[in-house]
Structure 1
């Protein structure tokens, strides 16, 4: 989840409004630093499957 790539076509996900909400919640939780470098290090730990699992866990 690299915010610099959020508008790149290859990085776009088609997600529903509900999942979009939860993805935003996860980003707010993960990106605590003002440092781009620290946030990039955090983003590399989260692939699509891990994000999906986090959303499904929190949606229940």
Structure 2
């Protein structure tokens, strides 16, 4: 793939959801095995579970 093709692909990427609730940066993010949830861990010493649309389910 040449540089032009890569740029065209990158230019067409758009953010769909933001997971905003952590106070500090996110260190890790993983999808659940069924693909319906995302778990994040942050430098603020919290873990959060989100649905696939970005809605916060629970925080630890």
Please report the TM-score for the alignment, with normalisation by the length of structure 2. Answer: 0.26
**Higher fraction of strand:** 2
Greater relative contact order (Cα < 8 A, sep 6+): 1
Structure ranking higher in helix proportion? 1
TM-score (norm 1): 0.26
**Greater C-alpha radius of gyration:** 2
